[in-house]
Structure 1
C-alpha cells in the first residue's frame, strides 16, 4: 500500500488529506520510486486552490512535482536505472494524477537522475525544481554569459536563490529584487551582488545606478503581472527578459519596447528534452561538488502533517525557503 495526499475540492490547506492506495506498478519504460521526501512548491498551492495555469480535474486530485527516493522497481525496456538507485525525480507533468506527495510513485525512466551524494535527503527533495527552472530560464533560454548583469525578481524564493547561485557560478552579476527591505542582508548572504528593495527605492532608477546607466542585460521575471513593465524598463536596449513564474495573478501588460526580447520559460517542455536535462544535471552535480549550489530548506515535516506544511507556506513563514515533506 501507499499513503497518498489527495483533495476532492479546491480550497485552503484543509482540503488536503491522506488516503491509502495500492502501490503503483511501473509500466514499460517506467520506474517505481519509493519516495523519501518531496517539497512544497508554489504550483502545488495554486493547484490546490484551483488557480493553476492548467486545469486540475476533481475529485481525488494529487499534488507534488519534485521528489527524491530509491528506485524499487523497473518496468520492461528500462536501461541505465537499477533497483536500489538513489534518484531525483526531474519531471511529473501529470502531478494531478501521480504527484509526489506519496510513499510510492511511478515515473518515466528518463525522468530520474542520480542523486548527488553530497546532498542530504531534504536538500535533494528541494533542489531540482528551483535549480532546473533557473538553469532552463537563464542558460537554455536566456543564454546568460559571464560578465552579464542579471536582474532577478522574486529573488527570495527558491528559484530566485537558485538563480543567484547559478549566476555567480557562471560569472554573471546577480541583482536581486525584493519587495521587503528586511530581506536585503539575507539576499546578500545568499550571494546577490546587489539587492534592490522596492519598498525603499525605484527599481528602474536603482538598476540604472548599479549598471552605470547602461541597464541590465537579462531580467528573470519570477512574478509576472504589472511589475514586468518595470523590469523591461530596467534592461539595456536589446536586452532579454525571461518570464518563469506566476506569483502575481494580475494581468501582465503587453510589451511596449520592440527592442527587448521576451521569452516564456516552459518547464515541462524543456524537461522532456533529455539532452537539456543532461546539461542541467551535469551543471547541478558540478556546482554541488564545488559547494556552489545548495537549496535553502526551511522546515521538514512528515506526510501526515501536510496541512500544516501548506498552512506555513500560505502564511509565508518559510521566507522563500523550501518546506520539505518526508514519508519516512
Structure 2
C-alpha cells in the first residue's frame, strides 16, 4: 500500500510517499481501507518534532480516518467487513490502509460522506469535550471563539449554537469570518482590524463573555481573557498562532475567572465511556442537521505537503482532508 512516511523530525516538505507492507489485524484490532484522512495542525508539529509526543522514527502520520472495514482481528465484536466507519488512530492514518484498536472505531451514518466523516473526529471531539466537560457551557451563555474560521473554530461555532449559546466568532479577514457565519456565529469580530477586548465588551453590554474558546494563542489570548465576565471560563485548546502566551495570573483572580486546559486525546484515553457518549452525540447532532464538518479542500496522499501548506498559510476554512 501507499503511505506518507516521516523519516526524520524535519520540515514537512521532507515527507515522502512510499510503498509499504499492508497492515494486519492483530487481536482487538480492525484494518480499515482508508477513504479519507483529516489533516490537523498537530500533524505538522508531530512530523517536525515540535509536539509533546515524539513517535519512534520512521512513522506514518495521520490521526483520524474514515473508510470501510477490511479485516477483523481476534476478539473483535460489533463490526463486519465492509462497515462504514471512522477511527481515531493517533498515527498511521495517511495511508491506503490502517490497523487500529476496535475501541477507537465507530460506525458512521450511511448518508455521511467519507470526507466529512474524516473531518469530524479530532475537531468536533475536541470541541464537544471542551464545551461539555471543561466549560460546562449552558444555554443562553455567551461563547467567544478565537480562530473561528478554522477546523476547531467552525466546530465550536456549530456546537455552541447547538447548545443554545450566543456565539461571537473572532477571526482574521472576511473569508474566515464568512466561514464562521456559515457555521452559525451570531456576531463577527475581525481581531486584526478591531480592538478585541473593547469589541467583546461592547457586544456583551459590558458584562463580559462567559466562555472563551482559544485554539489560537499568540497576541489574542490576553485581550480575550480580559473580556471574560464574572466566573468566566477560558479554554486553552491550542496555539495555532505559534506563540504560547504568558497570561498574567491576576486576570484569573479578577472576576473569579478560570483557566481550563483542553487535551481531548489524553482525556479520551482515560474516559473511554464518556468519550464514546460524546461521539454518539456528535453523530446524533449530525443526523439532526445541527452540525456539519466544513471541508474546504481535498488532496490525494502524494500532495500531503499541499494540504499542510493550506494549514500553515491560513487558507483552510473548516478542514482539509487527504483521500486514499
Cα distance per residue 1:290-309 (max 9 Å; x no partner) = 21211111122221222332
* Preserved contact between residue 181 and residue 200 of structure 1 (Cα < 8 Å): no
> Is 1:267 paired with 2:269?
no
The gaps in structure 1 that reach 5 residues or longer are none
* Preserved contact between residue 12 and residue 49 of structure 1 (Cα < 8 Å): yes
Aligned equivalents of 2:313, 2:258: Cα separation in 1: 35
Aligned equivalents of 1:128, 1:17: Cα separation in 2: 25
Cα distance per residue 1:94-143 (max 9 Å; x no partner) = x2xxx200111111111011112232111111111111111011112111
Tell me what 1:61 maps to.
Answer: 59
Tell me what 1:22 maps to.
Answer: 21
1:70-219 equivalences in 2 (<5 Å): 70-89=68-87, 91-93=88-90, 95=91, 99-181=92-174, 183-219=176-212
The gaps in structure 2 that reach 5 residues or longer are none
Aligned with 1:297 (options 274, 277, 295): 295
Give the secondary structure class of the aligned counterpart of 1:62: coil
- How far the C-alpha of 1:186 sits from its partner, in A, is 3.6
Indicate how the Cα distance of structure 1 residues 317 and 228 shifts in structure 2: closer, same or farther if over 3 A, else same.
closer
Tell me what 1:249 maps to.
Answer: 242
* Preserved contact between residue 232 and residue 241 of structure 1 (Cα < 8 Å): yes
* Preserved contact between residue 228 and residue 253 of structure 1 (Cα < 8 Å): no
TM-score (norm: length of structure 1): 0.91
TM-score (norm: length of structure 2): 0.93
RMSD: 1.7
* Preserved contact between residue 149 and residue 177 of structure 2 (Cα < 8 Å): no
Tell me what 1:223 maps to.
Answer: 216
Aligned equivalents of 1:130, 1:116: Cα separation in 2: 18
- How far the C-alpha of 1:226 sits from its partner, in A, is 4.3
Moved more, 269-278 or 309-318: 309-318
Tell me what 2:10 maps to.
Answer: 11
Moved more, 177-186 or 16-25: 177-186
- Between the two proteins, the alignment pairs up a number of residues equal to 319
- How far the C-alpha of 1:181 sits from its partner, in A, is 4.7
Moved more, 26-35 or 225-234: 225-234
- How far the C-alpha of 1:73 sits from its partner, in A, is 1.4
